[in-house]
Amino acid sequence: MAQTANKVGRLAYFNGRRKKRNNAVVALFSGAVPGTFLAFYFPFKWHVWLVGLLIGLVWGNAFEYAYHRWLLHRPHCPLANGHRQHHANVGTPEEPEHVSLGKSPPHIALLFLSNGIVVIAVDSLLHLWVSSGIFIGWTIYLIVAEEIHWRIHMQGWLPPGLRFARAYHMAHHDIPDSRYNVFLPLFDFFFGSSDRTQSYTPENPLRH
């Protein structure tokens, strides 16, 4: 039994890392590449680009919150099936295979496409020229969020300023209707979903 569990765990770890890598590659092609193209296509000013980058990071945080709270935790929502598997497999040998935030590379590409069409249309209409920075901000946020989420669940190293994120996120697995942001709880604070406290220790987690 122990050998079987170890074999399953190794396979799940390999598959989980592959999913994370593929999602990052697709995010770069879907976000960073169009963002770089837009920097040359639209009028470019550094301070405007930085504003767009900040908008993209905040937008990514808001999208993470809304998607996680109102779709992935919505009863009977087809999009929530994979996320239910993620919650159900925490602490099991199969856990790594279900850690990826993005359902699949095509799903990541669709998220960039659907959000990007809106941004480019509004940017072109209002002549704000912030699209390039926004695309880069989305790319950075998604890749960083995926990496931090992976390290939280795999007990990986986190930089000093983000070590709180492990306890913060695992409290979401204890109390699933709270703490929907993974590591940057801007919209958890805004919507009041970060105020529930629940201690978490790797030795004795109350995971769901």
User: Locate tokens 């987690």: which residue?
Assistant: 205
Residue 200 has pLDDT above 90, yes or no: no
Q: Work out the average pLDDT over 71-77.
A: 88
Two structure tokens written together for 29 = 């092609």
Residue pair 194/179 in contact (Cβ under 8 Å)? The answer is yes
In the chain, what are the helix, strand and coil shares in percent, each to the nearest 5? Answer: 70, 0, 30
Reported as a pLDDT band with limits 50, 70 and 90, residue 203 is: very low
Residue pair 129/50 in contact (Cβ under 8 Å)? The answer is no
Q: How far apart are CA 45 and CA 34, in angstroms?
A: 17
Q: How far apart are CA 64 and CA 69, in angstroms?
A: 8
- pLDDT tens per residue, range 4-56: 557 777 899 999 999 999 999 999 999 999 999 999 999 999 999 999 999 99
Domain ranges of the chain: 27-191
CA quadruple 164, 170, 172, 175: dihedral sign? negative
- pLDDT tens per residue, range 147-170: 999 999 999 999 999 999 999 999
